[in-house]
Structure 1
Amino acid sequence: MLDRDPRSTRTRIQNVALELFAEQGYDKTSLRELSERLGMTKASLYYYFKSKDDIVQSLVDDLLTAVDEVVDWARGREPTAENRRELIERYAKAIRGQGTPLLRFLMENQPALRVHECGSALRERMRVLVDFVVDPGDPLPVQLCGRMAFFALHGAPMIMSDVEATSEEIFDAACVVALSMVPDGLGEP
């Protein structure tokens, strides 16, 4: 049954698409399956999204909006240890707001995103964030720790999926780990 509010229908389509992408993978999910799961016709689905790529683009656009706020915050700031930690905290809050299903989708469907336009946009934003946290003059282990801070946030829902904990508890743990990996600006994580 369709909701009369187009925004809630759009959100429902996005959520069900993420469920199917998680169950079957992006490449193996068809719009027909999605419309059947939603209980709507394919024509009704096309009213909101013309393709799977449009659905992914809409999901990533929402994420990019949240990440852009973090990128904007970092502009003009010195990458002090305090600001690096603040960036990680802001980034964690931004991606947490997008939800665990989206993070799992992004991690599990990297090959599909490599060729998608939105994948390039995400990689561009991540380069800006990583460049703020990681000093290329630091020793490689320190640089790796800075990069792994982001991976801890992205990968925790997938890595910890077999652990008896809520998604909130897992994400809280990922934040603690990510913050512990942030370089302090003195060549030490």
Structure 2
Amino acid sequence: MLDRDPSSTRARIQRVALELFAQQGYDQTSLREISERLGMTKASLYYYFKSKDDIVHSLVDDLLTAVDEVVGWAAEQDRTPENRRELIERYGKAIRGQGAQLLRFLMENQPALRSHESGDALRDRLRVLVDFVVDPGDPLPVQLCGRMAFYTLLGGPMIMSDVDATSDEIFDAACAVAVSMLPEDAG
């Protein structure tokens, strides 16, 4: 039975779809499976989302909103070591708010997202943030560390999923490692 609150039903669909995408992969999950898991007809599901792409787009939109706040902050800052660390911490907080399951989905389904509009939007935002942290004139190892800081935040929850720790502890550890990858004298 559907909730009376459409936003609650929409959130429930997103949650179940994300669970299935994370478990089976995006390409192996059908709208039929999502509707069955929810106990609703495909027609009811279509009322909220016309396709799997629509579901992914809605999930990524929330993440993009959070990341856009970090991008906006960075646009008003000087590229100092302190601001680079602050950017990593803000980015970590933004993606933490979206949850480990979404990050796992994004990391494990990169091939499916390469051709997806939402994947392009995320990559565009990440390029802006990387450009704030990484100076093209830095030696390659320094540039790599700056880039890897972001992937530490994104991949940390997936890499550490078998560790006996809470999601918050894992995110805290990933943020600490990411910040430690930034050289003090970069830029």
**TM bin (shorter chain):** over 0.9
Displacement after TM superposition at 1:128 (Å)? 0.2
Cα distance in 2, alignment partners of residues 97 and 167 from structure 1: 11
TM-score, normalised to structure 2's length? 0.97
1:126 aligns with 2:126: yes
Structure 1 runs (4+) greater than 3 angstroms displaced: none
Q: Say if 1:133 and 1:183, in contact at 8 Å, map to a contact too.
A: no
Moved more, 175-184 or 82-91: 175-184
Moved more, 109-118 or 164-173: 164-173
* Residue 156 of structure 1: aligned partner: 156
Q: Say if 2:135 and 2:186, in contact at 8 Å, map to a contact too.
A: no
What is the CA RMSD across the aligned residues, in angstroms?
A: 1.0
Summarize deviations over 1:151-187 as a string: whole Å, max 9, x none. 1100011111111111111111101101101232347
Q: Say if 2:134 and 2:146, in contact at 8 Å, map to a contact too.
A: yes
Amino acid at match of 2:131: D
1:112 aligns with 2:130: no
Residues 186 and 69 from structure 1, CA distance in 2 versus in 1: closer, same or farther, beyond 3 angstroms? closer
Map 1:141-152 onto structure 2 (within 5 A): 141-152=141-152
Q: Say if 1:68 and 1:125, in contact at 8 Å, map to a contact too.
A: yes
Amino acid at match of 1:62: D
Alignment length, in residue pairs?
187
Gapped runs of 5+ residues in structure 1? none
Cα distance in 2, alignment partners of residues 122 and 43 from structure 1: 30
Displacement after TM superposition at 1:76 (Å)? 3.1
Amino acid at match of 2:75: R
Summarize deviations over 1:8-32 as a string: whole Å, max 9, x none. 1111111100110111110000000
SS, match of residue 79 in structure 1 = coil
Displacement after TM superposition at 1:72 (Å)? 0.4
Cα distance in 1, alignment partners of residues 185 and 75 from structure 2: 18
Amino acid at match of 1:99: G
Gapped runs of 5+ residues in structure 2? none
Q: Say if 1:136 and 1:143, in contact at 8 Å, map to a contact too.
A: yes
Cα distance in 1, alignment partners of residues 155 and 141 from structure 2: 19
TM-score, normalised to structure 1's length? 0.96
Amino acid at match of 2:100: T
Q: Say if 2:100 and 2:167, in contact at 8 Å, map to a contact too.
A: yes
Cα distance in 1, alignment partners of residues 183 and 113 from structure 2: 29
Amino acid at match of 2:81: A
Cα distance in 2, alignment partners of residues 181 and 88 from structure 1: 10
Identity over the aligned pairs, expressed in percent?
82
* Residue 178 of structure 2: aligned partner: 178
